[in-house]
Chain A
Amino acid sequence: MGLSFGTKAPPTALSGEVVVTGLGKSYGAARVLSDVNLAMNEGEVVSIIGPSGAGKSTFLRCLNYLEVPTEGKISIGGAHVVAGGKLPDKASLDHLRRVTGMVFQSFNLFPHLTVMENITLPQRKVLGSSKEQAQAVAERLLKRVGLPDKAKAYPARLSGGQQQRIAIARALALSPKVMLFDEPTSALDPEIGLEVLAVMRDLADEGMTMLVVTHEMHFARDVSDRIMVMGNGGVLEIGPSEQVMSQPQNERTRQFLKAVLDR
């Protein structure tokens, strides 16, 4: 069971695997993210939904500093950062990125490396694993995402769905505590997207803590424990998935859900 919070006043004592308080980002006078609060327990899955431009991806990308937040605090898996509009010190940044795994909309596999090398290279450089250790981990992960026979292939030879499953394996190889998914199926046709969603569902069942920006309403409802709805750079509402989908509290949420569910 997840903790849930209102969006305005930052709660006094948040705890959990992920604790974000008062996170905001401005470009000069333009405010793209304001006062986002979120606490997640270990093993919890939260989907982030909302219209385009709501700040969903920006929020997610602030969590591992692909975007630099201008205010707020982030604690993930033991890494703590206080935002100040610039990159934190190297040790904190490394720690934060070490405990988070990221899966992108456009996969971003390294095209000049084989699938095996994509998964082993980060392990060898970051964890200092031996070649044999790294390969053993990669083989186990390739099996887990259902692509054990693709180790020697280059990404260009794989379908989008396969590439995204490899990208998930690559992120898992560094044993992150929290997985961040940024619209992982948006670049895939609906049928191919299912194979990626299946892998994510397994991952959730195995107890991975996951934060997923998505337009897949079935996934949001069925797999995630809670849904966070964003709009206009802030949190519109957050609550148990079933409740947000069937009885949204916020008017803007109702509009959005009506638009996506009536399609």
Chain B
Amino acid sequence: MDLLTQWLGWLPDLAPGLGVSLQLTGLSLLFGFPLGLLFAVMAASKLAPLQWISFLFVEIGRGLPALVLLYLLYFSLPDAGITLTSLMTAIIALTWNTGAYASEYFRAGLAAVPLGQKEAALTSGLRGWSGFRLIILPQALRISTPPLAGLAVLVFQGSALAFVIAVPELMSKAFEIGSITFEYLSVYVLTAVVYGSITLVFLALVRVLEWRLGRHLQRN
């Protein structure tokens, strides 16, 4: 049987799974990145309780493998009287994971902005939130973009773990097809191609974004 025909035949069954994977990834990044920025800002705060909350969430999020976090939430939330769909549970777990790692990248980005920039902002009357938002943050984001893009890829690939708590994402669809056709290798190769090509296209787009963000630094 022609491999390509076989793959084309499977694609309609895989497509909804890919949709769920992208949704899971997209939402985890959408909530996780701002959460990471919040953790980074809290860590830099002078208020000890904020520092501690940030520390706790970040260290748990980084300390636990995403798979363990998924299982913990999946089995503990119902006991706490919280019933969520498995997709929701996966979004919470991956958001936590993403936020924890992103906070370190934001922290590094913020720390890399020269002190002179803050001083120039202060002496220009831009203090507090406006100085942070208009002067410090844009420069920090440019520095944090490459590692955050790498993290986004890891989250996309990590979304396959949601398979274990019965989220109907790409990997679980591939498993379904495999269990019906017994063509496990073939369908997993196809799945690999799908994951790989989306990742590479995404990284190419990030290159363009990085170039745009860094345009002002090019001398000529």
Interfacial residues, chain A to chain B (CB-CB below 8 A): 64, 66, 94, 97-98, 100-102, 104, 106, 108-114, 121-122, 125-126, 154-157, 167, 170-171, 174
Contacts and interface: CB of A to CB of B under 8 A. Distances in A.
A64 B122 CA distance: 9
Nearest to A102: B123
Interface in B41-80: none
28 contacts: A66-B123, A97-B122, A97-B123, A97-B125, A98-B125, A100-B123, A102-B119, A102-B123, A104-B116, A106-B114, A108-B116, A108-B120, A109-B120, A110-B120, A110-B135, A111-B216, A113-B216, A122-B125, A122-B126, A126-B125, A154-B216, A156-B216, A157-B219, A157-B220, A167-B120, A171-B124, A174-B124, A174-B125
Given A113-B216, A121-B134, 20 more contacts: A66-B122, A98-B125, A100-B123, A104-B120, A106-B116, A108-B116, A108-B119, A109-B120, A110-B117, A112-B138, A112-B139, A122-B125, A125-B126, A125-B134, A126-B124, A154-B216, A154-B217, A156-B216, A156-B217, A156-B218
B161 to A, nearest CB: 37
A156 B219 contact: yes
Chain B, interface size category, equals 20 to 34
Given A108-B117, A112-B216, A121 B126 contact: yes
Contacts of B6: none
A106 B119 CA distance: 11
- From A109, A112, A126, residue with most partner B Cβ within 10 Å: A112
Contacts of A155: 216
Contacts of B142: 112
A122 B124 contact: yes
B130 interface: yes
Interface string B103-144: 000000000001011011111111100100011001100100
Contacts of A121: 124, 126, 134
Contacts of A106: 114, 116
B143 to A, nearest CB: 11
Contact of A111 (B127, B130, B139): B139
A128 to B, nearest CB: 11
A157 B123 CA distance: 24
A126 B117 contact: no
Nearest to A103: B123
A109 B120 CA distance: 7
- From B117, B142, B215, B220, residue with most partner A Cβ within 10 Å: B117
A44 to B, nearest CB: 21
A171 B123 contact: yes
Contacts of B120: 102, 104, 108-110, 167
Nearest to A176: B123
A6 B41 CA distance: 47
